[in-house]
């Protein structure tokens, strides 16, 4: 029970540290004014989902601050466009996102292959391979990390858009993200409710354990007196016997002189008439 409570508390605490629901990773010159900009509007404005876009970061800040935003985001949406791999900034973000996913299974990564086939990232091949070759000439140490990130990213389930109406795809993505965010919010409410119940149980046990000795003594004395009271009236009822009203209205049995109303229903000791009838022995009748 304790371990379950601890796990729930840890999960709730970690989840509540998410500052953003969604982090958008994209190549600005490819999609900022088009697809990514419209997706941001759908998520943030239309659905009210807390979405981070890099233009919210003041100019001149280090990329490490973007890494912190990624870590504090529940979902990362990566829009991989034709010139994505030409930017070291984008490739570093992608590597960080894959790292967060591998470290914490709750961090979801949703790929959007925008006018790029997923197979181009495996190897890589085509234009993506050309971009990586140029980047590696300036930073060969990062090449293997970028390649691994591309390989893993290309195998994730996502959306591929080559041509057509973008608004339909944007609506699909926004609906999917909303359902994921709503599900997480429900889980947190359940976790909080469980934590509250566990807290109440701990408080109750603590209160029971701290009951003063004098209180226990008074309670025991009261119980003894109650038992004596019930026993006294029970003996009185057994001595009086039982009463039944005959057709003539006169009493019969062993209860002459007893008011019928006092014996009908509940007895002074709280015992029912049925109990008395089944437990009292009828007094023998005398022959005339």
Please say whether the beta carbons of 173 and 38 come within 8 A. Answer: no
The CA angle 47-31-150, to the nearest 5 degrees, is 100
CA–CA gap between residue 211 and residue 195 (Å, rounded)? 25
- Residue 124: cis peptide before it, omega within 30 degrees of 0: yes
List the strands of the sheet with 159-161, edge to edge: 51-52, 20-26, 73-80, 108-114, 159-161
Specify the DSSP element, H or E, that contains 70: helix 63-71
Please say whether the beta carbons of 187 and 174 come within 8 A. Answer: no
Beta-carbon contacts of 8 under 8 Å, excluding residues fewer than 6 positions away, are 191, 194, 195
CA–CA gap between residue 179 and residue 185 (Å, rounded)? 10
Which residues are known catalytic residues?
93
Closest CA to 50 of 157, 154, 181: 181
CA–CA gap between residue 85 and residue 83 (Å, rounded)? 6
Closest CA to 15 of 186, 197, 261, 251: 186
């Amino acid at each position: 029970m304790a371990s379950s409570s601890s796990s729930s508390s840890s999960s709730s605490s970690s989840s509540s540290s998410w500052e953003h629901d969604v982090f958008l990773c994209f190549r600005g010159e490819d999609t900022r004014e088009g697809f990514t900009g419209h997706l941001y509007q759908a998520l943030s404005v239309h659905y009210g989902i807390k979405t981070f876009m890099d233009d919210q970061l003041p100019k001149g800040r280090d990329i490490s601050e973007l890494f912190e935003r990624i870590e504090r985001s529940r979902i990362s949406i990566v829009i991989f466009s034709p010139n994505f791999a030409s930017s070291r900034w984008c490739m570093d973000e992608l590597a960080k996102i894959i790292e967060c996913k591998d470290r914490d299974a709750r961090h979801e990564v949703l790929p959007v292959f925008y006018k790029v086939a997923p197979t181009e990232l495996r190897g890589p091949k085509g234009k993506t391979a050309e971009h990586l070759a140029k980047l590696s000439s300036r930073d060969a140490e990062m090449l293997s990390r970028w390649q691994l990130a591309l390989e893993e990213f290309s195998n994730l389930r996502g959306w591929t858009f080559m041509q057509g109406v973008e608004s339909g795809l944007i609506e699909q993505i926004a609906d999917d993200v909303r359902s994921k965010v709503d599900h997480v919010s429900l889980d947190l409410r359940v976790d909080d409710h469980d934590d509250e119940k566990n807290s109440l149980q701990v408080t109750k046990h603590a209160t029971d354990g701290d009951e003063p000795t004098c209180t226990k003594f008074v309670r025991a004395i009261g119980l003894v007196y109650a038992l004596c009271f019930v026993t006294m009236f029970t003996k009185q009822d057994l001595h009086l016997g039982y009463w039944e009203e005959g057709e003539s209205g006169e009493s019969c049995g062993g209860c002459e002189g007893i008011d019928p109303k006092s014996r009908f229903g509940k007895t002074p000791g709280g015992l029912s008439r049925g109990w008395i009838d089944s437990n009292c022995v009828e007094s023998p009748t005398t022959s005339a």
